[in-house]
Amino acid sequence: MTNLVLFGPPGAGKGTQASILKDKYELIHISTGDVFRYNIKNQTELGLSAKSYIDKGQLVPDEVTINMLNAEVEKNEGANGFIFDGFPRTEAQAEALSTYLESKGTEVHAMIALEVEDEILVERLLERGKTSGRPDDADEAVIRNRINVYYNETAILKNYYQKQDKYYGVDGVGSIEEITARLSEVIDELMK
C-alpha cells in the first residue's frame, strides 16, 4: 500500500496530476473538498455537522474532517493506497492521519509538493477563472491571498514531513506529461 499526500499552492495542478496518478498507480484519490461537498449534499451526519460550522463562517473542526476522511478510507478497504489532496493542513491533522493509518497497519509514505513560482500561479488561476466560473479564480487579490495562506499553512507541514525524510518537492512547471513524469520518478522510487 502506498499513501501519498499531494500538495501544492492553488493553481499548481494538483487536481490534474492526482487524476492521472490515481489511474496510473491504481490509488484512491481523496480530495477533502470533494468529500465535504459529497457529505453535505447527501446530508450525512458528518456533512450536517460540517455544514453547521461552514454556515456560521467557521472552520470545520479537525475531528469532523478526520472522521469524514477515515470514512472514505474505510469505504475503500483493500485499496492499493491513497492520494490525500487538501489534507492534512495542520500538524494536528498530520498526527491524526498518521495515528489512523497506523491503526490500519500503514503510513503516509511521502508528501509530494508541486512547486510553482507565484507569478505563474496567478497567471494560471486568472486563465482558469475565465472558464471555471469560480469567483476565487477571477480576482488577483483573492488569488494572492490564497497563495499566501497556502505558504503559511504548509511551511509547518513541510517541516513535519522533512523531519521524517518524507518530503519531496517536484517542479510543477512544464507540460502535464513532464510534470507527471517527475512525480512518477518519486513514486516509482517509493514503491521499490
Tell me, yes or no, if 158 is annotated catalytic: no
Is position 89 annotated in a ligand binding site? yes
Using CA atoms, how far apart are residues 108 and 81, in angstroms rounded to an integer? Answer: 10
The single residue of 41, 75, 104, 134 carrying the catalytic annotation is: 134
In the numeric block, which cell numbers belong to residue 152? 503559511
Give me the pLDDT at residue 136, please: 79
Nearest to 97 by CA among 108, 113, 86: 108
Using CA atoms, how far apart are residues 144 and 136, in angstroms rounded to an integer? Answer: 10
The single residue of 144, 146, 158, 182 carrying the catalytic annotation is: 146
**Number of domain units in the chain:** 1
**Greater pLDDT, 4 or 62:** 4
Tell me, yes or no, if 124 is annotated catalytic: no
Residue 192 belongs to a domain: no
Residue 108 belongs to a domain: yes
Residue 13 belongs to a domain: yes
Domain coverage including residue 97: 2-185
Tell me, yes or no, if 134 is annotated catalytic: yes
Residue range 81-135, pLDDT digits in tens: 999 998 898 888 999 999 999 999 999 999 999 999 999 999 999 999 898 887 7
Tell me, yes or no, if 144 is annotated catalytic: no
Is position 32 annotated in a ligand binding site? yes
This prediction has a pTM of 0.86
Give me the pLDDT at residue 87, please: 87
3-state secondary structure at position 58: coil
* Cis status, amide bond into 88, omega within 30 of 0: yes
Residue 191 belongs to a domain: no
Residue 21 belongs to a domain: yes
Using CA atoms, how far apart are residues 46 and 43, in angstroms rounded to an integer? Answer: 8
What values do phi and psi take at 67, rounded to 5? -60, -40
CATH of residue 103: 3.40.50.300
User: 114: which strand partners?
Assistant: 170
Residue range 16-39, pLDDT digits in tens: 999 999 999 999 999 888 898 899
Residue range 70-91, pLDDT digits in tens: 999 999 988 999 999 988 988 8
Residue 190 belongs to a domain: no
Give me the pLDDT at residue 62, please: 87
Give me the pLDDT at residue 23, please: 96
3-state secondary structure at position 170: strand
